Amino acid sequence: MIDIKSTPISPEALDWLKEKTGSYEALFSKRAIKFRSLGLHEQKLTEADYRQHLIAEYTFLKRPVMINGEEVFVGNAKPVVLAAKTSFNS
| Structural domain includes residue 58 | yes
| Structural domain includes residue 39 | yes
In Å, how far are 2, 20, 55, 61, 79 from 9, measured between CA atoms? 9, 15, 7, 9, 25
Looking at residue 11, what is its pLDDT?
97
Q: Please report, for the domain that includes residue 31, its CATH number.
A: 3.40.30.10
| Structural domain includes residue 1 | no
Residue 34's domain spans which residues? 11-89
| Structural domain includes residue 6 | no
Predicted confidence (pLDDT) per residue in 24-47, tens digit: 999 999 999 999 999 999 999 999
| Structural domain includes residue 2 | no
The alpha carbon dihedral of 68, 70, 71, 76 has a sign of positive
- When divided into structural domains, the chain yields a total of 1
pLDDT class of 2 with cuts at 50, 70, 90: confident
